[in-house]
Amino acid sequence: MKNLPLILNIVLFALVGHLYYLNSSKNKPAEQSIAAPATQGGGVKIAYVNGDTLDAQYIWLKKQKDAIQQRMESAENSLAAKEQALMKDAQALQERFQGGNMTQADAEKQQNALMQRGQKLEEEKMRLSKSLSEEQKKAFNDLYANVETQLKTLSSQIGYDYILSYSRGGQILLANDSLDITKQVLDLLNAQEQPKK
């Protein structure tokens, strides 16, 4: 999730062409709208959205990140508990064997069982890691689709030829604050997340 501002840059940059095309179609205006772009001599209308702000304040994205974080923590806690139980059982086996409370054959049998549990635990770790990786990939794909859908919906209100994504340390080193439409876009995106009355 650390690369989310970069991903938002890519998504918004890829949607520029779609916005230009969709800008010519007339959709119903929503309750909120973005101020019309200021043009200089009929030139290209450009604005930008701050990807860092979108990352921090987009309600839908925050929900997605929180859900993935919770699943990761749950998986980590489950695995840690299983590892701890395995270690405890291995320690108990060693103490019983050293105390002379079991035969060599029983100790080897139980040791093999513990090794199988350990192997299954490693396999479970790999499965969970793969599953979480797939969930993150799906969340990124959902983010792309969601932002694209929302911007298509907002395109008639936006009125810009190009909307760039800006983030500190990104490819755009400096942006004129008068071209920043982050708050308006964020308000419109977050309004889509509010329950319908």
CB atoms within 10 A of CB 155: 21
Residue 77 in this model has a pLDDT that exceeds 90 = yes
Contact in structure between 188 and 47 (CB atoms under 8 Å): no
pLDDT tens sequence across 159-188: 777 778 888 888 887 788 888 888 888 887
Mean pLDDT, the chain, whole residue set? 76
Give the model's pLDDT for residue 166: 82
- Domain enclosing residue 55, as ranges: 4-193
Q: Mind listing the pLDDT tens digit for each residue in 93-118? A: 888 888 888 888 888 899 999 999 99
pTM for this structure?
0.61
**What is the mean pLDDT of the segment spanning 18-47?**
51
| Residue 57 zone, left/alpha/beta (φ > 0; ψ -120 to 50; rest) | alpha
- In the chain, how many domains are there? 1
Burial of residue 134, with CB atoms counted within 10 A of its CB: 0-12 exposed, 13-18 middle, 19 or more buried: exposed
